A and B are shown apart, each in its own frame.
Chain A
Amino acid sequence: MKRSVVVISAQAADELTQVGPQTATGAFLRQFWVPFLPSDAVAAGGEPFPVRLMGEDLVAFRREDGQVGLVDTACAHRRAPLLYARNEGCGLRCVYHGWQFDITGQCTDMPAEPETSRFKQHIKIKAYPVRERNGVLWTFMGTGEPPALPDLEWNQVPAENVHVSFRVQDTDWLSAYEGEIDSAHAPILHGRLDRTSKRSNTMAARTGRPVFDIVQQDFGVSVGARRPIGDGAELYWRVNQFVLPFWTLVPPKSTEWAELTGHAWVPIDDTHTLCVGFTYLPDRPLKERMVDVFVNSYQGRETGHPSKLAYDETIPHNEPYWRYISKYRRATNFLFDYELQRETYFSGLPGLWVQDSGCQTGATFLAPRSHEHLTSSDAGLVVARQTVHDCVAAHRDSGELPEIATRPDLYRVRSVAAVLKSDESWTEALEGFIRRSGGAPLGYEVP
């Protein structure tokens, strides 16, 4: 399983952020199902919603019969915006000349044309297939017959077991997912000065500097981080997963906070990412108090998910993903608060996800990767970068895809946190917990 790993060049890494339809990375990513909206973003017969995925501007809408369409942003006639189209009958009717398109993109009506005209039969706009599963809309933008939806546990458990959020980040997708693979930042960036938070008392915050052990897997990359406990006879292991092509899974934090979390980092375009966050318990409902904190924030601070107060309600409705653009972004300086940095938060950034977003986004548009200096704690992202790079190159050169592109079952994987004896092999000891899925209990006590 383990292959030799070479650090790819900064330029090669930067190329992985180019995701448009004519790019090698874009062509690779399009061969995977993409979660692109929550179901409630489009009401039956309601207003269309502007979507941008991998550089393509699209419009999502739900017909009266409940079926969801995802079609080109412009009418095929004179390129008028379908965002203003009337959602009626089989699909969208352009308000300019009344051309109507169904969810396959087929033009079905041209009311200004002679009745005898068959021209509409020749007109079809771009349209992507949409699947809906447990409150999430998925699309497939690739070529060929799409595989079944991936067996991702968070999207298969009962609704009360999971909290899902969507937000836009002004970051290329690579910077975004790499931020979550790197677990070395967590006790630092998310640390507090007042030492009152539960987070400050977690094992990761209490123990020492992490040492990393990276393993390439059929699903992507396992990033193991070990920290010595006490005299070193035992090790605290946290295993984050990078799952192809853009998924990260983060282990539970403590016995009390035993939830599994993670993200899909879906490229909106080369410089924006749709962050689809999920927190779930495989075998039981989330605590109401936890969901309340996610939805309403905690004492005015953002937590692991964007609260309903986090979104910027002034964004015009023709901006792609307007509903999921937050107040905490580069244009607002992430509402950074220097006083907060002196007294409460190590970072001064107001809330957990804001801290991640601020660091992933902050200066990346100014400083290309050639200005990076990667270190031992970046071993995971180096291997993940290499893995994506190799997959993109293989697909570009020979059309070859990794097995996971056509094996939905390979997504049955979890992140793990555990205490092991110092001479135990973590890959052997934890394999059973990593491959556990389908709503089964964790099977171990979270340290």
Chain B
Amino acid sequence: MRIVASRELCKGHGQCELFAPDVFEVDDDALVVLKTDTVTGSAEQDVREAISHCPEAAIRARETA
């Protein structure tokens, strides 16, 4: 799974960090930072949770083979 996050759309709610702490982090500017842009296995479900809980629709993912 490939992940894209927008710092333009992000408002620092921190939901992504809560659901997938190994993938997302909110920095001192209260904006999202990707720790990695690719995940596999059980981490993919965490990212889907993070995406569905983001109030700003600032993160997206593309399923890969």
Q: Interface size class for chain B?
A: 10 to 19
Q: How many residues of A contact B (CB 8 A)?
A: 8
Chain B at the A interface: mostly helix, strand, loop or mixed?
Answer: loop
Which B residues are CB-close (under 8 A) to A113? 13
Given the complex of chains A and B, what is the CA–CA distance between A116 and B30 in angstroms?
10
Given the complex of chains A and B, what is the CA–CA distance between A81 and B18 in angstroms?
32
The segment out of A67-75, A117-125, A187-195 that lies at the interface is A117-125
Q: How far is the CB of A111 from chain B (nearest CB, A)?
A: 15
A-B contact list, 19 entries, CB within 8 Å? A113-B13, A114-B13, A114-B14, A114-B15, A114-B18, A116-B18, A116-B26, A117-B12, A117-B13, A117-B14, A117-B15, A118-B12, A118-B14, A119-B11, A119-B13, A119-B30, A121-B29, A122-B11, A122-B12
* Interface members, chain B 25-40 (any A CB < 8 Å): 26, 29-30
Which A residues are CB-close (under 8 A) to B18? 114, 116
Q: How far is the CB of A365 from chain B (nearest CB, A)?
A: 45
Which B residues are CB-close (under 8 A) to A116? 14, 17-18, 26
- Proximity bits, A86-118, B CB within 8 Å = 1, else 0: 000000000000000000000000000110111
Which A residues are CB-close (under 8 A) to B30? 118-119, 121-122
Which A residues are CB-close (under 8 A) to B26? 116, 118
Given the complex of chains A and B, what is the CA–CA distance between A117 and B10 in angstroms?
12
Q: How far is the CB of B39 from chain A (nearest CB, A)?
A: 20
Which B residues are CB-close (under 8 A) to A119? 11-14, 30
Q: Which chain A residue shows the least CB distance to B18? A: A116
- Proximity bits, A299-337, B CB within 8 Å = 1, else 0: 000000000000000000000000000000000000000
- The CB with the most chain B CB atoms within 10 A, among A114, A118, A119, is that of A118
Q: Which chain A residue shows the least CB distance to B12? A: A118
Which A residues are CB-close (under 8 A) to B14? 114, 116-119
Given the complex of chains A and B, what is the CA–CA distance between A114 and B12 in angstroms?
11
Q: How far is the CB of B65 from chain A (nearest CB, A)?
A: 34
* Interface members, chain B 1-22 (any A CB < 8 Å): 11-15, 17-18
Given the complex of chains A and B, what is the CA–CA distance between A164 and B13 in angstroms?
48
Given the complex of chains A and B, what is the CA–CA distance between A122 and B13 in angstroms?
10
Which B residues are CB-close (under 8 A) to A121? 12, 29-30
Given the complex of chains A and B, what is the CA–CA distance between A117 and B14 in angstroms?
5
Given the complex of chains A and B, what is the CA–CA distance between A122 and B26 in angstroms?
13
- Proximity bits, A24-52, B CB within 8 Å = 1, else 0: 00000000000000000000000000000
Beyond A114-B14, A118-B13, A119-B30, 12 additional contacts (C-beta under 8 Å) are A114-B15, A116-B18, A117-B12, A117-B13, A118-B12, A118-B26, A119-B11, A119-B12, A119-B13, A121-B12, A121-B29, A122-B30
Q: Which chain A residue shows the least CB distance to B55? A: A119
